[in-house]
């Protein structure tokens, strides 16, 4: 049973792994025995975070701006120079911007979609070869996209491009799952409120109060879901969008 839920020895890349949910996931994978690369825009921040995460295992940094297709390609090439294959890709990097409807312009729209949708697609596309090489009999390589319950329901905030991008990401997950099988599974986690730089404390508390489990997500909740999908226990699951939200999805 321990082998069924093991990711020991696997190689993972967690984008946006320097803070928030990405940091929770990267740390959990390291503690479970995986070798982890993290990516973030700022090279110094990325390197510093990798050094801190190295307390739990082998963690390395590759800085990249994933809103740019050329940077997605460069990240894939750099990883390919260091690794023969990739077993787990966690597309966690994301952005949110909000503004009143009358003021919601191209900047608030394009920059969010560039990271949350285009960046996920382009990085997955460029890493496809390494993921294929990481697949084994009965244990495919994994792509795990970090979505949101906001992709299912309409929030109170005027973050139009964020909610639309997460709904798009959920469907992109299903499309990629159909295309990349049988050697690569593609699933998404639709997260509810977690403590992160993108979650306002008061809004997170309000969401937690409305959820059946009456709490905000923690490190184990994020890491546990990713480890399940990454281990052999999750090998037969693809094309799924799984709410990890304390049951918030039942209230909308």
Q: Where are the domains of the chain?
A: 11-251
Task: Give the H or E element holding residue 201.
Answer: helix 201-210
- Name the pLDDT band for 97 (thresholds 50, 70, 90): confident
Average pLDDT score over residue span 173-186: 98
The predicted model scores a pTM of: 0.95
pLDDT at 199: 60
- Name the pLDDT band for 198 (thresholds 50, 70, 90): low
pLDDT at 143: 99
**In terms of DSSP H, where are the helices of the chain?**
20-31, 43-53, 69-82, 106-113, 120-134, 160-180, 201-210, 219-230
Catalytic status, residue 162: yes
Please tell me the distance from the alpha carbon of residue 87 to that of residue 77, in angstroms, as a whole number: 16
- Running DSSP on this structure, what letter comes out for residue 41? S
Range with lowest mean pLDDT among 78-82, 134-138, 210-214 = 210-214
User: In percent, how much of the chain has pLDDT > 70?
Assistant: 96
Catalytic residue among 113, 152, 162, 194: 162
> Which two tokens mark 237?
């699951």
pLDDT at 196: 66
104-120 tens-digit pLDDT: 888 889 999 999 999 99
Range 11-251 classified under CATH 2.40.37.10? no
Q: How many CB atoms lie within 10 A of CB 145?
A: 26
Contact present, 128 and 134 (Cβ < 8 Å): no
Q: Does the pLDDT at position 200 exceed 70?
A: no
């Amino acid at each position: 049973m321990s082998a069924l839920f093991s990711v020991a020895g696997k190689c993972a890349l967690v984008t946006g792994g320097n803070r928030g949910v990405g940091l929770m996931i990267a740390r959990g994978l390291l503690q479970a025995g995986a070798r982890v690369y993290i990516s973030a825009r700022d090279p110094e921040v990325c390197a510093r975070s990798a050094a801190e995460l190295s307390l739990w295992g082998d963690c390395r940094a590759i800085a990249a701006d994933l809103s740019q297709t050329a940077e997605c390609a460069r990240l894939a090439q750099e990883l390919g120079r260091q690794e023969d294959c990739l077993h787990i890709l966690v597309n966690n990097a994301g952005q949110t911007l909000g503004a009143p409807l009358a003021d919601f312009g191209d900047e608030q729209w394009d920059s969010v979609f560039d990271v949350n949708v285009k960046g996920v697609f382009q990085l997955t596309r460029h890493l496809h070869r390494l993921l294929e090489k990481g697949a084994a009999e009965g244990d495919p390589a994994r792509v795990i996209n970090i979505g949101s319950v906001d992709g299912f329901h309409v929030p109170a905030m005027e973050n139009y491009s964020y909610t639309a991008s997460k709904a798009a990401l959920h469907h992109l997950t299903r499309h990629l799952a159909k295309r990349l099988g049988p050697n690569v599974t593609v699933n998404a986690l639709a997260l509810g409120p977690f403590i992160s730089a993108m979650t306002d404390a008061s809004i997170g508390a309000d969401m937690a109060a409305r959820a059946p489990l009456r709490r905000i997500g923690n490190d184990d909740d994020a890491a546990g879901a990713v480890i399940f999908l990454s281990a052999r226990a999750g090998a037969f699951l693809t094309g799924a969008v799984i709410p990890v939200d304390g049951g918030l999805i039942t209230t909308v």
